Structure 1
Amino acid sequence: MRLLSRAVHPLLGRAARGWVRLRRPLRGKYVRAVLAALATLIALTALRTYEPRIVTETKERAFDAYQRLKPRQPAEDLPVRIVDIDEASLAAFGQWPWPRTRLAALTKRLGELGAGVVAYDIIFSEPDRTTPDRLIEDLAASELPDRDRAVALLKSLPDHDASFAAAMRQTPTVLGFAATRRDNDTRPSVKTGLAFVGVTPANVLPPFRGAVSNLRLLDEAAAGVGAINLSARDRGGVVRRLPMLMSDGARVYPSLAAEALRVAQGQKGVIVRGTGASGDDATGHDALVDMRVGQFKLPLTDDGEAWLYVDRDHPDRYVSAKDVLDPSQTERMRDRLEGTIVLVGTTASGLSDARATPIGQVMPGVAIQAQMIEQIVAQDFLERPDWASGFEIVMTLLLGSLVAALVLIAGARFSLIACAVVFVGAIGGSWIAFSQFRLLIDPVYPSLATLLTYIAVERVLHTASDREKRFVRQAFGQYLAPDLLARLERMPDGLRLGGEQRELSVMFMDVRGFTPISEALSATELVDFVNTLLSPLSDAIQDELGTIDKYIGDSIMAFWNAPVDVPDHAARACRAALKMRAVVERLNDADAFGFAARGVADPVVRIGVGLNTGVACVGNMGSARRFNYSAMGDVVNVAARIESASKEFGTDLLVSEEVARAAPTLALLEAGEIRLKGKSRPTRLYALVGDEAVAASERFAELQRLHRGLFEALAAGDQDRAAAMLAACRAAAPQAVAGLYDSFARRAEMRAADAYSAA
């Protein structure tokens, strides 16, 4: 046992260590992302295979949009007309229903005008109420004095339904019937011979349980009988398909459109092809493929329907029944109706069965039948091939897998672009299939599935990244500054010490007279004062894309053009300084520090700002354990000294000559030269007066002219002219730079005193 234990324990140890190594990648965010992608794709594929109602409606609305963009173009003079029982016809011949004798006259008249076939989109399921036999029954129950004479007269008149049947025997006529879900024994006559290859149609077509049919007398007289049903699969009130074949489980009936086309060609039957036929492999389930009516072939869906490809409903398709029955219109009607398939229906108010179509236009039911006949004759129809569903499922898997892989490899941003490309590609390919080949391929579900897969993978990665950031914050938050911590979370490589050479605009800001202020305030009040002042000043800097380097008591150091490029950084630094001046003025006016309320002798807070532009080293500086993103170099030192010199020059905003050259559109006045410590030559400085609007004003132009005159007088030693120009400048200068001319006056007095001493 001891030997066995010595042999087994190392094996168990290696197995345990292997299991731990196996679990570590399983816990990795990329593995979780892959699992999320697989789970999403499996769920979406299962949903597409089941195809609930929302998926079907989304797909069909996409097909509707295609038809609106490119409806069927009407071919030249298609032989299909609608004889319309419209408002004018009802006004001429009375309200509906008309006596069957008038319909007999209409049918006979259409035959005389050369109609190839007359198809009624109307069901005549009840006897004519105005026929003589019905009137005789009503008179038999009355006590009229001339009843017997009236009855004898009525018996001499022909039966209205018989007259209509006789007219139909003279003119090839097709009647409609409606299949219903309610059980009854009513069935229409079968006028069409059926030949089929492959699966038996009656075994595939969904059986109906009952029917609303025509009178047997009329059914027998008609040359054809066809169903006027719309597809039970269409939802939302939009007609997208028409059943071309229907069955009661034993017999097969064509649609009204197919039957009208058959009779018009003088054919005895139709040919239906299904799966299992020669040249058609079985697909795993019985389905219909297409049907032939005479010389015309029409693709079918699995259950014997055809997709409706409509064009705009136009008035040339319609002929008023009133004009057909008008003898004076014979020649015009012959030109319109001879050799055509005539469908009789109604658009009159209260009688029309209006239907919404994919192109967004509402049409009467008879126009739907006419549109179907037209597209068969024109051989321009839509088809959803039997491989479409499988192709869409495969595309869902392929596109979803592709985008998931891109998220893992290239990141979320690039993958989002790829996802958009997938959207555009799927819609573009589907549109080409529709517009060029009349194929209905769904672009919506594969695209949405791709997007959902992208979201699932991206969310898993994002959640994992957040978890990593929380770990970094917990691990390093105690000894790293928040700004650096945020940068570390985004770019861990930023922890490297050192920096880069960049051109920067550097600002130093200091509060004038801070020592007396701090002595007059308690520690808490001093903190409140500093926060009240520095907070809006910091906002002004950041509004102009500045980076705040550090706060040094009552001072701020900031710079522009790092860590991100700011092309106009010198001008932005100047505009930030002008905003800071306005902030201090606003705070003083509102007594935001409470100095005036306390009765402080000088309640006005003043600041000094120095700006310089040049090349500096910027980056993470410090030790390996504690460092900060900062700037170093001569440009920083000069900016600090310019800020210190601003008090001597009597102005709050002082900039270097380099800043003045980089921001020439701002209002700047030369303040003079100063020899800064450590510099071999004097540094020329400029007072910042205002922004571009101030620089473009006439008042500043005048001040500039006077200012140049003052410098010329001082350079020439002309004390009288210098005094006059100084007075003029003081009168023209805004309050913000009034101290500058006080500085000039002091320097002029010192120069005069030196000259007097020398003399």
Structure 2
Amino acid sequence: MKYPVLKIDPKILAIVLIILCVLLISWFNHLGVFDVQEMRAYDWLMRMRPIETPHPEIVIIEISDDTLGNLGQWPISRDYHAALLKVLSEAGARVVVMDLLLSEPDTADAVLSQAMLASGNVYLPYAFRIEKRGGEFVAAGVLAGISAGIVSAVSGAGHINVIVDPDGKVRRLPLLLRHRKKDVVALGVLAAAARMGYDAHDIRVDERGIARLGNRLLVPLDREGAIWVNYPGPWTKTFRHYSYFDILKAHADKKKGLRPRFDTSVLKDKICFVGLTAAGTSDLRANPFDPVYPMVGVHASICDSVLRNAFIKRLSLLFRSLIDSGFFLAGIKICLAFSPVAAFFACIALAVIWLGMSWISFSFWGFLGISWCLFG
């Protein structure tokens, strides 16, 4: 007995296979099957593009080795912080972001509180214990808050939590962390909002996962509610860096009638990020550029992204899946149509085209990734 042979139009079969391929790749992309490869692609693309020029108002005031060598081991007296705020206020600094955990009560809190109130533009951090719930990061408890003696004097507070990937690098951070029925915004975003005349209440995320600042579009968040950090470049080649100690000494020299080596007028109208950068301290992690990168630079980079509208944007899942599928199927077609040697070189050429597309896309439109090209 002969069974009838089912004849399928090759064109229909090809269309069905393409649809199945797109659906499968979309599912893999949604599940994050190639997240590790995406991280490596992000690192490579960050290093390959030209170093960006950060927003001219952002400066970093470093509590580095020279500061601790002159003022004592960490933590230094909060009297110094009060003195710094006075100098910055007199210099005309626009926003002061102290990326320092001042959670424990201190005898100098009254002096520091007065300096904060006089400045009227000081922002401090919270640090939370974070965990994933429902696929997003949430605050599961406070690791370090703000001392009761100074909390009422700050102009605002944001979180400084970052997402440390399995390889130890910091590439993302949550935009918002829910704590006690309130959303705590990332410190760098809060600083940029303050510079633009907004506050934390003006930052919201719509039902599509797109963050907005007032009526201004910020960036689509990833599936975990996080922002990819757009580092302008390596630590030593971006942002203007000033020494915490040099600023204090310049002020002291000026009061004594001496000619200071540091001109505090350069701080006028600046967004000053004050952070710990001394070697061997805890606020240092790896990023795509540096094996040791001060975390104050992460928050400065996020602030820079908001002010320049220069976020790392992920292209839509559908668009990435269509591009992935096209190259994946092209790779299969090459392997079936050519001899092994010819197919090898053709696939290398295809990979080069993909890498070029990824670099151009990353530089001008959004993060495409490279994993499916290599897989194909």
Query: Normalising TM by the smaller chain, what interval?
Result: 0.7 to 0.9
* Counterpart in the other structure of 1:428: 356
> Is residue 2:276 matched to residue 1:346?
yes
Equivalent AA in structure 2 for residue 366 of structure 1: V
RMSD: 3.3
Q: Distance in 1 between matches of 2:134 and 2:3?
A: 60
CA deviations on 1:549-593 (whole Å, 9 max, x unpaired) are xxxxxxxxxxxxxxxxxxxxxxxxxxxxxxxxxxxxxxxxxxxxx
* Counterpart in the other structure of 2:247: 324
Alignment of 1:106-255 (within 5 A): 106-128=84-106, 131=107, 160-171=108-119, 172-181=121-130, 206-211=137-142, 212-231=144-163, 234-248=165-179, 250-255=181-186
Equivalent AA in structure 1 for residue 93 of structure 2: A
Alignment of 1:160-559 (within 5 A): 160-171=108-119, 172-181=121-130, 206-211=137-142, 212-231=144-163, 234-248=165-179, 250-272=181-203, 274-275=205-206, 286-292=207-213, 297-302=217-222, 303-310=224-231, 311-314=233-236, 317-326=240-249, 327=251, 328=253, 332-360=262-290, 362-385=292-315, 387=316, 389-409=317-337, 412-437=340-365, 439-445=366-372, 447-450=373-376
Distance 1:123 1:360, change over 3 A: closer
Residue 118 of structure 1 deviates from its aligned partner by 1.4
Residue 209 of structure 1 deviates from its aligned partner by 1.6
Equivalent AA in structure 1 for residue 155 of structure 2: A
Alignment of 1:43-62 (within 5 A): 45=25, 47-52=28-33, 55-62=34-41
* Counterpart in the other structure of 1:101: 79
Distance 1:341 1:203, change over 3 A: farther
Contact 1:120/1:174, CA 8 A, preserved across alignment: yes
Distance 1:292 1:203, change over 3 A: farther
Contact 1:224/1:263, CA 8 A, preserved across alignment: no
* Counterpart in the other structure of 1:280: none
CA deviations on 1:652-693 (whole Å, 9 max, x unpaired) are xxxxxxxxxxxxxxxxxxxxxxxxxxxxxxxxxxxxxxxxxx
Q: Distance in 2 between matches of 1:43 and 1:268?
A: 41
Give the unaligned 5+ runs of structure 2: 8-13, 255-259
Distance 1:293 1:366, change over 3 A: farther
Residue 441 of structure 1 deviates from its aligned partner by 0.2
Equivalent AA in structure 2 for residue 81 of structure 1: V
Q: Distance in 1 between matches of 2:327 and 2:197?
A: 51
Distance 1:364 1:380, change over 3 A: same
Q: Distance in 2 between matches of 1:92 and 1:72?
A: 33
Residue 223 of structure 1 deviates from its aligned partner by 0.3
* Counterpart in the other structure of 2:46: 67
Residue 64 of structure 1 deviates from its aligned partner by 0.8
Contact 1:205/1:245, CA 8 A, preserved across alignment: no
Equivalent AA in structure 1 for residue 212 of structure 2: M
Distance 1:93 1:301, change over 3 A: same
Q: Distance in 2 between matches of 1:418 and 1:350?
A: 49
Residue 319 of structure 1 deviates from its aligned partner by 1.2
Residue-pair matches, total = 355
Distance 1:126 1:395, change over 3 A: same
Equivalent AA in structure 2 for residue 443 of structure 1: I
Q: Distance in 1 between matches of 2:35 and 2:134?
A: 25
> Aligned match of 1:89 in 57, 60, 67?
67
Q: Alignment partner of 1:428: what SS?
A: helix
Distance 1:271 1:43, change over 3 A: closer
* Counterpart in the other structure of 1:152: none
Residue 165 of structure 1 deviates from its aligned partner by 0.9
Q: Distance in 2 between matches of 1:89 and 1:396?
A: 51
CA deviations on 1:608-667 (whole Å, 9 max, x unpaired) are xxxxxxxxxxxxxxxxxxxxxxxxxxxxxxxxxxxxxxxxxxxxxxxxxxxxxxxxxxxx
Contact 1:41/1:449, CA 8 A, preserved across alignment: no
Residue 375 of structure 1 deviates from its aligned partner by 2.9
Alignment of 1:562-573 (within 5 A): none
Residue 346 of structure 1 deviates from its aligned partner by 1.5
Residue 434 of structure 1 deviates from its aligned partner by 1.3
* Counterpart in the other structure of 1:558: none
Q: Distance in 2 between matches of 1:58 and 1:119?
A: 34
> Is residue 2:2 matched to residue 1:17?
yes
Residue 174 of structure 1 deviates from its aligned partner by 0.4
Q: Distance in 2 between matches of 1:322 and 1:408?
A: 67
Answer with 1 or 2: which has the greater Rg: 1
Q: Distance in 1 between matches of 2:290 and 2:81?
A: 33
* Counterpart in the other structure of 2:10: none
